[in-house]
Homo-oligomer: A and B are copies of this chain.
Amino acid sequence: MPEVQILTLSCRDRPGITARVTGYLFEKGGNILEAQQFDDLESGDFFMRVAFDPGPADADAIRAGFAPLAAELGMRWSIRSRERPRKVLLMVSKFDHCLADLLYRERIGEMPMDVVGIVCNHPREALRHAAIGDIPFHHLPVDRDSKPEQEARVRELVKETGAELVVLARYMQVLSDEMADWLSGRCINIHHSFLPGFKGAKPYHQAHARGVKIIGATAHYVTADLDEGPIIHQDVEPITHADRPDDLVRKGRDIERRVLAEAVRLHLEDRVLLNGTRTVVFRS
């Protein structure tokens, strides 16, 4: 049985894009299983995601045949197999709840990814609660002075492993602007607040001090502008006056891990398209 393919594309809107794209796939013998589109009336941009069974045709041939149409309409696009897991590099500091959660989801086959390595600025012993198994572990300590070298090493790792996505699973270090740019659109961070509230450090303490009645977490693409990257997913939980910062940290762990896992899943399934500083998210 042929592998289901996912086509994603964005371009300037104009009449007939849907008809031409779906017409092309039909002509090649493909059958569309899911299709979603979005016209951003403000920007005039068009976004589309199509999951299709290529039928008798070869996926490579469909891809090759699509290129001229894509070029004509000025598309940013890709066609990838839905069945092939993506290579993912995980980066983490001392708190390993997001790491442990992502690894568990991978192990039970719920997350279509292949973890090619774990980068941590602390030694492996710091992550004693997570079941890392034989995933390559890279202890890459970092401080202000060593950041350029450390980031150079991370870059090499990304290249060597072929990592298609880097996930900052509570990696409590700020990436340099250069690194953030280099990873643009392929690096997801989890921030432990409901952005744009409580940017920066110690958001749960900020939330407690302000006396909010709900806390949250935000998964976003990393950009040079800290805590300002395009938001992929957010979720929240109610809290009360009786919750101390420690309680918020505990409650927050649950929110963080499910928000990050959902954002990673959405990305891995090609459901997130960049729209300037925002995202288009095609949920099923």
Nearest neighbor of A273 in chain B, beta-carbon distance:
B241
Interface 1/0 per residue, A241-284 and B, CB below 8 Å: 11110010010011000100000000000000001011111011
Instruction: State whether the Cβ of A168 lies closer than 8 Å to any Cβ in chain B.
Output: no
Report if A15-B241 is in contact (Cβ < 8 Å); known contacts: A195-B212, A197-B194.
no
Instruction: State whether the Cβ of A11 lies closer than 8 Å to any Cβ in chain B.
Output: no
Contact call B196/A195, Cβ cutoff below 8 A: no
Contact call B197/A210, Cβ cutoff below 8 A: no
| Chain A, range 17-70, C-beta contacts under 8 Å to B | 18-20, 22-23, 25-27, 29-42, 55
Alpha-carbon separation in the docked complex, A240 to B272 (Å): 12
Nearest neighbor of A214 in chain B, beta-carbon distance:
B234
Contact call A234/B213, Cβ cutoff below 8 A: yes
Q: Knowing that A19-B27, A36-B36 are A-B contacts, what are 11 other residue pairs whose CB atoms are under 8 Å apart, sorted by A's residue number?
A: A18-B18, A22-B22, A34-B38, A97-B104, A108-B129, A195-B197, A213-B232, A213-B234, A213-B281, A240-B283, A241-B279
Instruction: State whether the Cβ of A198 lies closer than 8 Å to any Cβ in chain B.
Output: yes
State the interface size on chain A (CB cutoff 8 A).
70
Instruction: State whether the Cβ of A139 lies closer than 8 Å to any Cβ in chain B.
Output: no
Nearest neighbor of A110 in chain B, beta-carbon distance:
B250
Cβ contacts under 8 Å, A104 to chain B: 97, 100, 129
The 30 listed contacts between A and B (C-beta, < 8 Å) are A15-B30, A16-B26, A18-B22, A19-B22, A19-B25, A19-B26, A19-B32, A23-B23, A33-B39, A35-B36, A38-B241, A97-B104, A104-B129, A107-B128, A108-B129, A194-B197, A196-B210, A197-B197, A211-B231, A211-B277, A211-B278, A212-B234, A213-B232, A213-B234, A214-B234, A214-B236, A240-B281, A241-B278, A241-B281, A258-B258
Cβ contacts under 8 Å, A194 to chain B: 194, 197, 214
Alpha-carbon separation in the docked complex, A284 to B280 (Å): 12
Contact call B38/A18, Cβ cutoff below 8 A: no
Instruction: State whether the Cβ of A185 lies closer than 8 Å to any Cβ in chain B.
Output: no
Instruction: State whether the Cβ of A216 lies closer than 8 Å to any Cβ in chain B.
Output: yes
Whole-angstrom distance between the Cβ of A98 and the nearest chain B Cβ: 11
